Amino acid sequence: MDSWNNENREVVKIDLSGCLVTSAYVIKLETNAFWINGVLELNLRGNPLMEKCASALASLLKNPHCCLKTLILTKCQLGLHDILTILQALANNTSIEELDLSENVHQEEVNKSQHESVLVNADYTDMEVANSEDDANEPKVKVKVNTSSSQSMPSLDGSCVSSFENDLYESKSKSKSTYVQELSYAVSRAKRVRLLELSGKEFSEEAGETLYGGWSTDSRGGLTKKYVEGSIIHLSVEPYQCCNIKPCCTRF
């Protein structure tokens, strides 16, 4: 890496996809951002960067020495918060035009994040409920019921568990909706970006539509387009058309 520090170099694209690059690489690059002065594309696809590098990437994108136009971070094991951090940094970036953050978050993390949010924002007490009347002598299922609610305490039968599960589902939906709204706002402020890839199982088509709402702001300076189907979320501004190779991209 030190050899990059050469005033006579002419580097336009750096492809490090699948090279087992770790967060230590990104952190060192962030502290020596002038090394990539003149680099227009950085491909880090398939490297285990994980959450440690999110803040370093954000700082790199804010650095005036950074003139990257394309940044590929597909399958880099980034988390929900990492994706949001990186997108928020683009509000202060004037060079990035293409960003690929697809296939990063695992569904397990989404579920864990939503569940933790429910437990933090409510006061619960433990209750033990038998699975059925016939299983009274069997080990009981422990559930947590919100005692801070103004509603009366449900009876200790199947309706108790059903009510709790319904409240838990609504709380999870609210938590996920809040995250998507924050993501949409960050997207709306990344006005320089012309092509954004956010595909992944963590996002629904409804989330894709919300993200497009942030994308299609008047200040983006061009006709905005979207391809949202299943877990695929491609956002673009003419004349950009994703990779223009995959079937989903050629439909624009």
Instruction: State pLDDT tens for residues 182-214.
Output: 999 999 999 999 999 999 887 889 999 999 999
Question: Taking a C-beta distance cutoff of 8 angstroms, is the pair 98, 240 a contact?
Answer: yes
Collapsing DSSP to helix, strand or coil, 129 comes out as strand
| Mean pLDDT lowest among 1-5, 41-45, 122-126, 238-242 | 122-126
Collapsing DSSP to helix, strand or coil, 10 comes out as coil
Parallel, antiparallel or unpaired: strands 13-15 and 41-43: parallel
The sign of the dihedral angle between the CA atoms of 78, 84, 85, 89 is: positive
Neighbouring residues of 79: CB distance < 8 A, sequence distance ≥ 6: 50, 51, 54, 104, 105, 109
Confidence bin at 243 (pLDDT 50/70/90): low
Superfamily for 2-108+184-237? Ribonuclease Inhibitor (3.80.10.10)
Confidence bin at 247 (pLDDT 50/70/90): low
Closest CA to 127 of 160, 167, 99: 160
pLDDT digits (tens, 9 = 90+) for 140-190: 544 444 444 444 444 444 444 455 455 444 445 546 688 999 999 999 999
Collapsing DSSP to helix, strand or coil, 178 comes out as helix
**pTM, 2 dp:** 0.71
Where are the chain's structural domains? 2-108+184-237, 109-173
* CA pair distance 80, 32, nearest whole angstrom: 27
Q: 237 — phi, psi (to 5°)?
A: -130, 130
- For the beta carbon of residue 115, count every other beta carbon within 10 angstroms: 14
> Where would I find the beta strands (DSSP E) of 70-200?
70-72, 98-100, 124-129, 141-146, 195-197
pLDDT of residue 132: 47
* CA pair distance 145, 112, nearest whole angstrom: 18
